[in-house]
Homo-oligomer: A and B are copies of this chain.
Amino acid sequence: MTGPTFEAEVDEPPAFVFDLDGTLIDSVYQHVVAWHDALRQLGVNLPVWRIHRRIGMSGGLFVEALARETGMAVDDAVSRRISRAHVEAFERLRASIAPLPGAEALLQALERAGVRWAIATSGSSEVAYPALELLGVPDATLVTRNEVRHAKPDPDLFLVAAARLHVPAARCVVVGDSVWDLLAARRARALGIGLLSGGYGRDELERAGAYRIYEDPADLLSHLDEIGVRQVP
């Protein structure tokens, strides 16, 4: 009996694709408050928790969800005005933003272990680059909203990141703080790891398909053996 042969890929550590806001950088609540401000400027009063639960999804889908939840007519011009107002409001809060505990140490440990990693964010390059500076990794492999047609929960961001790392998406571990990261991870056939550091509840992340949940990057770093990374130097 003959047939295709499959080579077992044993002992290959996974590659890591990280979300940025709420996963490596402590910026989710500032983004939430900035979106709330931006919407108020257009006379829309969407309760803040609903904005929080939409953070991390693509801006386009965010605005569509917004239109559905508020009954507001959102054309391209309004959408651009909201996005611009959000960037401005976020700028005012930027001084309060820091890396999450363990974020730098985690990326350094992966480097030392020879594990490939990238960052994939639904945010724009304009917002993402200063965050890389904060993390001390200005040259990290980065995929932003500007480079894909559809952002999370579509899998495009993670698929492009995997391709840049020259690793099949199915061998990637996707680390994110939001339901949208985990849904997109499943669509990319990657393993999704949830972090509580974006303010979602554990249960919400589990239900979205998280393989494992940690508090923050520091907690993930001390449990890397649970997801296939051994002997971190």
Report which A residues bind B (CB closer than 8 A): 22, 26, 28-30, 32-33, 36-37, 40, 45, 47-49, 52, 93, 96, 98, 100-101, 196-204, 216
Report the minimal beta-carbon distance from A19 to chain B, rounded to whole angstroms: 14
Main secondary structure of the interface of A (DSSP, over half): helix
Please list the 6 inter-chain residue pairs (A to B) with the smallest Cβ-Cβ separation, ordered nearest first: A201-B201, A203-B203, A49-B199, A29-B48, A201-B204, A26-B47
Contacting residue for A204 out of B32, B47, B203, CB 8 A: B203
> A218's closest neighbor in chain B, by CB?
B47
Q: In whole angstroms, how far apart are the Cα atoms of A30 and B98 in the complex?
A: 18
Interface pair B198/A200, CB less than 8 Å apart: no
Report the minimal beta-carbon distance from A86 to chain B, rounded to whole angstroms: 14
**A52 contacts across to B, CB distance below 8 A:** 29, 199
Q: In whole angstroms, how far apart are the Cα atoms of A186 and B36 in the complex?
A: 34
Report the minimal beta-carbon distance from A135 to chain B, rounded to whole angstroms: 15
**A201 contacts across to B, CB distance below 8 A:** 200-204
> A197's closest neighbor in chain B, by CB?
B49
Q: In whole angstroms, how far apart are the Cα atoms of A201 and B30 in the complex?
A: 19
Q: In whole angstroms, how far apart are the Cα atoms of A47 and B203 in the complex?
A: 20
Interface pair B29/A100, CB less than 8 Å apart: no
**A96 contacts across to B, CB distance below 8 A:** 33, 36-37, 40
Contacting residue for A26 out of B37, B48, B202, B204, CB 8 A: B48
> A40's closest neighbor in chain B, by CB?
B96
Q: In whole angstroms, how far apart are the Cα atoms of A110 and B185 in the complex?
A: 46
With A29-B33, A29-B52, A47-B101 in contact, do A199 and B199 touch (Cβ < 8 Å)? Answer: yes
Q: A26-B47, A36-B96 are in contact. List 12 more A-B contacts (CB 8 A).
A: A28-B48, A29-B32, A29-B33, A29-B48, A30-B33, A40-B96, A47-B101, A47-B216, A52-B199, A199-B199, A202-B203, A203-B204
